[in-house]
Structure 1
Amino acid sequence: MQVVREQITRTLSSKPTSLELFKNKVNALNYSEILKLRQTERLHQEETLAPPVLELKERLKPELLELIRQQRLNRLCHGTLFRKISSRRRQDKLWYCRLSPNHKVLHYGDVEGEKETPSIEALQEKIPVADIKNVVTGKDCPHMKENKGKQTKLLEELFCICIQLLNKTWKEMRATQEDFDKVMQVVREQITRTLSSKPTSLELFKNKVNALNYSEILKLRQTERLHQEETLAPPVLELKERLKPELLELIRQQRLNRLCHGTLFRKISSRRRQDKLWYCRLSPNHKVLHYGDVEGEKETPSIEALQEKIPVADIKNVVTGKDCPHMKENKGKQTKEVLDLAFSITYDVEEYSLNFIASSRTDFCLWTDGLNVLLGKEMSSESMRSELEILLSMEIKLRLLDLENVPIPDTAPPIPKPPSNFNFCYDFSQAEQ
């Protein structure tokens, strides 16, 4: 990831004038080019150092190299647990290898569990260091040559699993293009949480990461948030409860402002062709909903240009999903995606309704929350809950900045006893006389 970040940063620094040019430049800047650039910059940096500093650097090198050598030998003396991979890639057998304290013999042998470090005496096999001729790595190893063509590239398989996970999570979140960053955060969390459980094979990783779907992530976040709240001091929890009404009012005003600005909606015909557009917006005094057909998407129509209107006082209810009249009419024909974006307002004793299909989940949450505010009801969307948590967290952190590293007691300090007399108080009655 560091290399990829560097490739993107270096390419952006050249200020490419188009996406195609960016694509060509970033693909040309491969890993070997990055290494060359790093080497060139390092050499240039060394050239700019003063001669005494360069001389000191050369004097320090042998000492530090010896320190690293000793660390490597100590690590070998401690030993490492390895796995035997069979022809079916089953990682079921373990063996341990460690160097003797005098650095003359390598001891190794099969072990049953991972918890305990076996002693040198428990390892039956051994190889004198003097008999070791060479060390080979990668495809030059004998056990890699025996299974040539069978060994998969780990990163490529891992990449395929993660891309499949991204597609799966995207569908679960019913995401649109503007939700890309949110989806990536969830996918990153799914991968991180799965890796923290230390899966021993790619197959196990794949099973675990696929089981950790979006709903599971939300449950884990909720559990962690509740646990975090339980660990907060009572004064902080009290502050949080006091802040909630103020922040909820802020969200209500934002929802009403969004309705006053208005939104462009699409009409879906019986053939599901989204070819007609209409606009709806709330009047500045929050008393009337204005709506009407529009021809283009570029300009925001004025209230005067919208011919139809509904007084807010006549609105009786807001319904969503399959309870909407336009969803009942086409029951069985609408996809789940459309159902999740549909909402309607009923008015005039529920004989008439104004039907909406939002272009995104964000617009759906903004409008349903705003309409509920107009009707004096509570906002209930997931967007509102998420925004409230973010605002509460930010506000509490800002207010507690001055108390950083200061322990907050669970209970208020005791009130001291009153003094034996109040002679230190000013007597206003004598002054009046």
Structure 2
Amino acid sequence: MNESEIDYEAVFQALPSMVALFTTDLEYADVNEAFLSGLGRARDQVVGHRLADAFPDDPGDPAVTGMRKLRDSLRWVAATGERDAMTLHRYDVESVHRPGVWVERYWSTVCVPVLSPDRRVAWLLHWEEDLTELIRQRRSQSGGDRGTVLEAELYRRARELQEVNERLRKAHAHEREVALHLQEAMLPVPDPLRGQHSAVRYRPAVGSLNVCGDWYDLVDLPCGRVAVAVGDVVGSGLVAACVMGQLRSALSAACRAADGPAKALEALDLYARSVDGAESTTAALAVIDGTSRTISYSSAGHLPAALVRADGTVDFLDQATDPPLATRPEHTSRPQTETTFTEGSVLVLYTDGLIERRGEDIDVGLARLTGSLTRHRHADPETLADALLDDLIPPAGATDDTALVILGL
């Protein structure tokens, strides 16, 4: 059977468990029949309504906060793009037939992101299992006060697990804060370049301590020239950060001493062979000569820089690309080529987090970049950098680091 022949709406409605589909604004987009039956609601009482409006918490019992916990879970999934399993929690529901009367209910819940083709969080899928009857049976089997004690113990343990989950979230947020400080320390904003307007940006990947695998650099060279570089170390975390720091420093030194970008990358390739974890690193280096209005460039397996000309044309500098660092059995020379530019042009170097999406051809990402550069071609470098991140990074964040350098020519 072809995928196109499957009626996914019918499958959704036939699911035996209660399932709801939310927008990222926490509005019910759709619910299945089990959901409506389990909560005693008509479709028009739910679909099109926000979570807090359709199922508010009992205003008379501030200790029951099921809706607020579910709301927080959904918001976290929308922000991170990761699934979240909530522990057993009490979420009372107002009676349809007796307004103002709240029915005690217990639930087990999982919230899952639904991604669009460009890896943005497009929808939030909410699955829940009603455990109220199980709790009631335990009460009945245990009898009287003992049943109440058993329920209280079960609920207490569930609350403890929920608190542990919340602490883990906070620890995750703290790790990312530490990661950002580490990134700022290792990738400081470069000093202003002579006669050049530039902007740099760095965005870590979502979901983990995946920072500092990417780097950027801007270097003043003799005779009014400027070198600009970006690179991407394979891997993530502190190991990749250490490798990145070594390679960035080595390339910064090499471009000051070598005769052109290709020679600098050849020196970096030799150095990378002696650094554990540096193999397969990609890097791109361009040297801008304002006097001759030329850009000399070379790439070690990196995505091509984009040259936005004054008329809005976007050219990708892809004529001097070689394999990544330390991947060839033997060290060899690297290619270099040159292009010209006119006043008012802009040079953009970046890493793959800006344009690549899983399951998508790279040309689609390059086309997205081209469109954004064309739309914002009259912006200054700082404004252009922010516009590119707004246009190209998914709201939930990219799954890979993003480094971006923009240089006005």
Q: TM-score range by the shorter chain?
A: under 0.3
Q: TM-score, normalised by structure 2?
A: 0.21
The answer to which structure has the higher helix fraction is 1
| Structure with the larger RCO, 1 or 2 (CA within 8 Å, 6+ apart) | 2
Q: Normalising by the residue count of structure 1, what TM-score does the alignment of the two structures yield?
A: 0.20
More strand by percentage: 2
User: Which has more radius of gyration?
Assistant: 1
